[in-house]
Amino acid sequence: MKRTRHTTEQIIEKLRQADVALGKGAKVPEICKTLGITEQTYYRWRQKYGGMAPDLAKQMRSLEKENARLKRLVANQALDMEILKEGYRPHPCDYTP
């Protein structure tokens, strides 16, 4: 099958179409063929986007972006702290009791 990248909204729409077809008695392999996806992709999407509405998908995507940004920020801060620790070495004569 041709590999294509689906947006979250497209995935949710295809899952809704699949639900309708399942309600009419169609089997999963038939539905996947109609939608142009593999069964593995269908089950992966079902697990991740199950009963999600499009507005929730947008919110999830924005939260994932924010989470990635915060992880980068923490990683950079930890790196800066490590550099400062390695860079500062007090001279033995600087000690005053």
Between 70 and 87, the more confident residue is: 70
| 47 and 68 co-located in one domain | no
pTM, full prediction = 0.57
Q: Sign of the C-alpha dihedral, residues 42, 45, 51, 54?
A: negative
| 45 and 80 co-located in one domain | no
Domain count, the chain: 2
Q: How far apart are CA 60 and CA 42, in angstroms?
A: 19
| 64 and 27 co-located in one domain | no
| 25 and 71 co-located in one domain | no
Mean pLDDT of the residues in the chain: 86
